[in-house]
Structure 1
């Protein structure tokens, strides 16, 4: 049996709160709520590992601030030092980064989403994101539980890859801040208890 892979979206960032498109913008840090979400994610992972009598052996994180802060909180709870991996970054959203969500969504409506290789706003294509996230997943040791801290679009690509779906037929998956999905043959979302 394959050990679990946990996919964690970073907690709420300052730019999530301000409704600004982040993409690969490095500096937005976690808010107080974001740190609470990271703590709940850490507790959910620790509980799930304990339930299975497992010990997490690897913690990888996007190198963007909001993800590294989330990973440090998780790592302190499960006893691991996060290892940064730029392949877990969010999709590079080109000229949309720093713009309001409403403005970005209006621009995104003009994008041809049927072509997964078409870069968005001068940034990355969904296909490029999927390939780099798939490369990380290919390196996961199936014998040891692994935690990957990343971002919404990157996690959607990871889920599509793990489920063997193409990006054009994968359903939209809502990935809230601080959420944790667990993959062992199928995706299951962990229940996050309030502090």
Structure 2
């Protein structure tokens, strides 16, 4: 029996371009983000269910990808990492204002700890729990999940473990990219990691 789970990151947002921290706060897709999602839509095989983070940017992406073809089920476990009062802030400003934890977020995520924010371990726990649950619920089916980079990477690393210190090591999970996990007879493996073959400048991470 084969189960396939497509993990899709939302399209590029205005805050991605401005290099602002997003987290649970939201920013709409750019035109480029919309177009990338539109190019991805016909490349996604038929699925039995669609799950999404309830954030505006993921729901906007899910509507572009699936329109009225599928009912989108929101799940809070798919929300991006909670960054507290960093959300909406420019990364350049945080480099100056929090010279310990902001570099830790990107370069030493296993050490990242900020009051009012989640840790990477927190995200890993809820992401892995979600993946295990839907894998069982949709055994033998194909499912799409629209979420955020930290959550998607956490789910992928629950399949093929990686130490948190190397969380951001390539391959990347680009905006409007698709990753694919296949489960056959209880054995999970990553087939695609952050693939953007549908983009103008394509990349498909081997893993």
Same fold (TM over 0.5): yes
Q: Pick from 88, 91, 115: which aligns with 1:101?
A: 91
What secondary structure sits across from 1:3 in the alignment? strand
Task: Give how far 1:136 is off.
Answer: 1.1
Other-structure match for 1:29: 28
Task: Give how far 1:187 is off.
Answer: 3.5
Other-structure match for 2:15: 15
Task: Give how far 1:164 is off.
Answer: 3.1
1:187 pairs with 2:191: yes
Give ranges in structure 2 of 5+ residues lacking alignment.
183-188, 201-207
- Counterparts of 1:34-73 in structure 2, within 5 Å, are 34-45=33-44, 49=45, 55-73=46-64
Q: Distance in 2 between matches of 1:105 and 1:37?
A: 30
- Counterparts of 1:111-150 in structure 2, within 5 Å, are 113=108, 115=110, 119-120=113-114, 122-140=116-134, 141-150=138-147
Instruction: Please give the root-mean-square deviation of Cα atoms over the aligned residues, in Å.
Output: 2.3
CA contact (8 A) 1:62 1:149 kept: yes
CA contact (8 A) 2:110 2:164 kept: no
Other-structure match for 1:52: none
Other-structure match for 1:161: 158
Task: Give how far 1:131 is off.
Answer: 0.8
CA contact (8 A) 1:159 1:187 kept: no
What's the TM-score, normalizing by structure 1?
0.83
Q: Distance in 1 between matches of 2:162 and 2:190?
A: 12
Task: Give how far 1:123 is off.
Answer: 0.4
CA contact (8 A) 1:157 1:167 kept: no
CA contact (8 A) 1:11 1:30 kept: yes
Higher strand share: 2
